[in-house]
């Protein structure tokens, strides 16, 4: 299977459908063992786990708040508490669903978002297996105006 990773322009265009005036910049990969991450698991058409998207709590809180116009202090409080509100989890799942298309650029095979897994909970074997076999990862800083900057990464395991 082959999946591409997006450029910052492709990510900005895709997220720009939901959020205006985002700033997206390349950044160094984050430690995939950090405890403030969320992992979106993606499956192929035969329901086989094939790839992941990772984001930190700040990305989840800022985008999750902005989507439903919660004030920036709500996002800041969530980051301090370390726990997303249920509405933000739903919004993050929607973002994970939308960015699945970025893996299919340049003739990548079809996949779909399946489940969201916080790093604070034990991972199922499907997520652990992919994390143990990372071939390529690309991360971005995404600044949501009035809220702040979070990180999101696209992770492709070895075939």
The pLDDT value recorded for residue 79 is 98
Helix, strand, or coil here: 24? strand
Quote the pTM value: 0.95
CA distance 36 to 15: 22
The pLDDT value recorded for residue 1 is 57
The pLDDT value recorded for residue 138 is 98
| 45-102 residue pLDDT tens | 999 999 999 999 999 999 999 999 999 999 999 999 999 999 999 999 999 999 999 9
Reference 96, options 125, 126, 119, 117; nearest CA is 117
CA distance 132 to 130: 5
From the candidate CATH numbers 1.50.10, 3.30.70, 3.10.620, 3.40.1550, the one assigned to the domain spanning 8-157: 3.40.1550
| 97-141 residue pLDDT tens | 999 999 988 777 899 999 999 999 999 999 999 999 999 999 999
Specify the DSSP element, H or E, that contains 105: none
């Amino acid at each position: 299977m082959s999946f591409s990773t997006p450029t910052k322009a492709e990510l900005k265009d895709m997220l720009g459908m939901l959020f205006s005036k985002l700033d997206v910049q390349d950044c160094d990969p984050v430690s995939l063992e950090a405890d403030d991450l969320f992992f979106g698991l993606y499956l192929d058409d035969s329901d086989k786990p094939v790839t992941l998207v990772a984001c930190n709590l700040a990305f989840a809180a800022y985008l999750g708040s902005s989507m439903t116009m919660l004030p920036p202090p709500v996002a800041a409080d969530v980051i301090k508490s370390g726990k997303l509100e249920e509405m933000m989890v739903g919004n993050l799942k929607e973002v994970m669903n939308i960015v699945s298309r970025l893996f299919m650029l340049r003739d990548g095979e079809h996949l779909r978002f399946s489940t969201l897994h916080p790093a604070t909970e034990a991972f199922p074997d499907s997520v652990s297996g992919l994390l143990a076999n990372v071939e390529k990862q690309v991360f971005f800083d995404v600044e949501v105006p009035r809220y702040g900057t979070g990180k999101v990464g696209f992770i492709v395991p070895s075939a």
